[in-house]
Structure formats: C-alpha cells, structure tokens
Amino acid sequence: MKIHTFTALLLSSAFSATVGADTIKIASVSPLSGSQAGLGDMIKLGAQLAIEEAAPWFKENGFNLAFSPQDDQASPDVGVATARRIVNDREILGVIGHLNSGVAIPASEVYREYQLAMVSPANTNPQITERRYPNVNRICGRDDVQGPVGAEFAVNELGAKRIFVVHDKTTYGQGVAEAFRTRALALGAEVVGYDGTEELSNFSSLILRMRVMKPDVVYFGGIYDRGGVLLKQMRERGITATYIGPDAMDSSEFVKIAQDAVIGAYYTTVAGPADQFPAARSFAERFKARFQKDAESYALYAYDCGNVFVAALKNWIEQNPGKTPSRTDVAQAVRAVTIDGITGAIAFDDKGDRVRSDYYIVKFETASYPGTTVKAITQTIEPAP
C-alpha cells in the first residue's frame, strides 16, 4: 500500500513535469512571520507585483507565470528547509530572496545543487557572491562597501573622532560592523568600543560603557529590532552621540520602536529610497493600489528582482520558441540579463554582483518614515575581463 502511494506520487510528479510544463513559478523567500516580518513582507509584495504585471505576456506565449511566496522566519535552519521544499517543486525556476545574509548563504548552497537561480534584493554580505556560484546574484550593494561608506561619512562629514561600534553577532551585522570599524580606524578615528550583543531589551551595560567612553558616533551593525531599542534607551539615558546604522534600519518599524529618539539618526543603505528614482513614483502608486500598503525598504528592489527574472525568461523564450526553460537555462539567462530597472541599470558581473550599485545615506529629520536622503554614492564594480 505504502509503495503504491509512493509510485503514484512519483508518477504524478513526473507527469506534471511534462504536461504541466507550461507553468513557471518564481518563488520569494523572506521572513513573513516573526520579528523581521516588516522587512520580509516588503520583499514578498514587491516580487509579487512584478510577477503579476508580467503574467499576461507569458499567458499570450503559452506559459502560466505564477508566484510562490515562502517564509524563512529569518532563521538559517528554517531557510534551508524552505530551500529544500522549493527545489522539490520542479515548476519553480527562480528564487527572489532572502532578507538575511546568514540565511541566504546556507540556503543558496541548496539552490546551487539544483542550479536554481537566486536573485537577492537585500543580501549584502560579501560572501554571497564571493563564492562565485553561477546561479547566485544580487542587485543590492555589498557590506564591504556599505560599511566603509558609513565610516567615511562618519569621519569625513560628521567629524567623528571617537566611535563606539556595536553589532548583533549575526553574519550580516558583524560583517558590516567589522567593515565599518576597519575603515574608521584607517581614516584615523578612534574606536572606543567594539561589542556584540544578543540582548533584546536591556542595553544598560553597553550604555553605561558609552557614558564612560564618551563616543561622538555610535554605529550599530544589525537589524532595526535591536537597533531601535538601543537607540531609544541611549537617548533616554542621556547619550547624545550620533547614531548610524546599516540598511536594516530602513523600515517604518524602526521609527515606531525608537519613536522620537530616531530624530537625527542616520543609516546607510544599498536600496535607495523611492524619491531617488524617477520611475519609482508610478511603482509606489501601483503598489499601494494593489496591496493597500506603502512600498518601503526592499519592495522596490524585490520588484526589480522580479523583473530580472521576467526579462531573463522572456529572452530565453523568444530565442527558443516552443520550448520550456530548465533551471540551468534560467540561471544562465539571469546572469546574462541587462535591464533598465527602476533602481537603474542592472547587469551582473562574473560573480553575480551588480555592475553598478548605489549607496545612500539617509537621515531621519523627523520621527517619521521615510527619512531624507543626504547623500548618494555610485560605486562601479568593473566586470573582470
């Protein structure tokens, strides 16, 4: 009986692989529940909008383009389990995600086994592309540029001399904090504290140390959930040092947590605010009309990721009429794609990094989201010969 069910399952999956071949699914993987759902939800919705908008073209050409949102709960083990589930669905030909580098790195090992293309809107850890996997790409910048961009801003423009660096001990947070610290030291600033913490609520020991070390800038490498609380408690206890964080502060949740303390805080980001892109206004309107929510943080980048897949699939289908692409085909087509996305021109180098990435420095002038962009820096990574 068991064996029968099993063969039946096998048969049915083989069957759907041939007959149902006209369905192409693009999955998004990001935290949809738990502490970082605020950022993860935006990735899902941005990707969904791109897929839905492109579906009519695929319909005309005999394909059913579907969207499959998945939850990785911002946890490496759940992320890997989700990746395994994704690769088992033969119709999924592309993955948009993840949010956390610490989740994306192990999960992308799974995608690599199956040559499943991944395009990330948000993973900034250098390790993502330094492994040179042919199927792993990102359209955002890297922490080994983002950290230094923050450090240069702090030292050269804010005149920081004493910097206190805190990180959340994750792959992402510690990585960007280390890159920040190295550049800050090279620029001649003094790093008066460098600490990791997994604390969520009581930051009093750190804040007491800040009282003694008297930093003029506090850099927090981590996500808004800790960063917001730390900032609020710093201000309540009279620490006036300027707060700088990386791109994971880019959420209205950050403002909700820190409340008035957010005024005057800066963050560096790899995902430019919508006001930086001329085409983003109409995107924001379509997004609002579709989901009744304001597009935030990574929504725009996830939308561009979706369009990378759409363009890659269109190219392949036009060149191979009447055929259905395999995962390897899609991975190759994605790496070769060149599109004019809302966030600018998108093309990948041989590692899977975006050839041209932008970095922004944003300041909260009032206790409201989004903040004001104070500086935009374009960094061009020359494609290797």
Q: How far apart are CA 249 and CA 83, in angstroms?
A: 26
Tokens 């408690």 correspond to what residue?
A: 233
Which range binds another protein by CB under 8 A, 78-86, 139-147, 187-195, 298-306? Answer: 187-195
**Residue 216 or 304 with smaller CB distance to another protein:** 216
- Site membership for another protein, residue 288 (CB under 8 A): no
- Site membership for another protein, residue 228 (CB under 8 A): yes
Q: How far apart are CA 136 and CA 141, in angstroms?
A: 14
- Site membership for another protein, residue 257 (CB under 8 A): yes
Chain center to CA of 110: 19
Binding residue count for another protein, defined by CB under 8 A: 35
State the nearest-atom distance from the C-beta of 200 to another protein, in Å.
7
**Residue 231 or 342 with smaller CB distance to another protein:** 231
**Residue 70 or 129 with smaller CB distance to another protein:** 70
For 139-161, letters b (16+ CB in 10 Å) and e give: bbbbbbbbbbbbbbbbbeeeebe
Nearest CA to 45 among 65, 63, 30, 24? 30
On whether the CB atoms of residues 86 and 135 are closer than 8 A, the answer is no
CA distances from 41 to 141, 221, 374 (A): 20, 22, 27
- Site membership for another protein, residue 260 (CB under 8 A): yes
**Residue 92 or 223 with smaller CB distance to another protein:** 223
Residues 141-170 contacting another protein, CB under 8 A? 169
**Residue 254 or 348 with smaller CB distance to another protein:** 254
CA distances from 160 to 139, 156, 218, 243, 362 (A): 31, 8, 10, 11, 17
- Site membership for another protein, residue 194 (CB under 8 A): yes
- Site membership for another protein, residue 264 (CB under 8 A): no
Report H helices in 114-217: 127-130, 143-152, 171-186, 204-213
* Three-state DSSP state, 299: helix
- Site membership for another protein, residue 201 (CB under 8 A): yes
**Residue 130 or 236 with smaller CB distance to another protein:** 236
- Site membership for another protein, residue 232 (CB under 8 A): yes
- Site membership for another protein, residue 272 (CB under 8 A): no
State the nearest-atom distance from the C-beta of 149 to another protein, in Å.
25
- Site membership for another protein, residue 229 (CB under 8 A): yes
On whether the CB atoms of residues 153 and 268 are closer than 8 A, the answer is yes
- Site membership for another protein, residue 202 (CB under 8 A): yes
Give me the 24-43 binding string for another protein, x by CB under 8 A, dash otherwise. ---------xxx-xx-----
Q: How far apart are CA 122 and CA 140, in angstroms?
A: 6
User: Binding residues for another protein, per CB under 8 A?
Assistant: 33-35, 37-38, 169, 193-198, 200-202, 204-206, 208-209, 211-212, 225, 228-229, 232-233, 236-238, 253, 256-257, 259-260
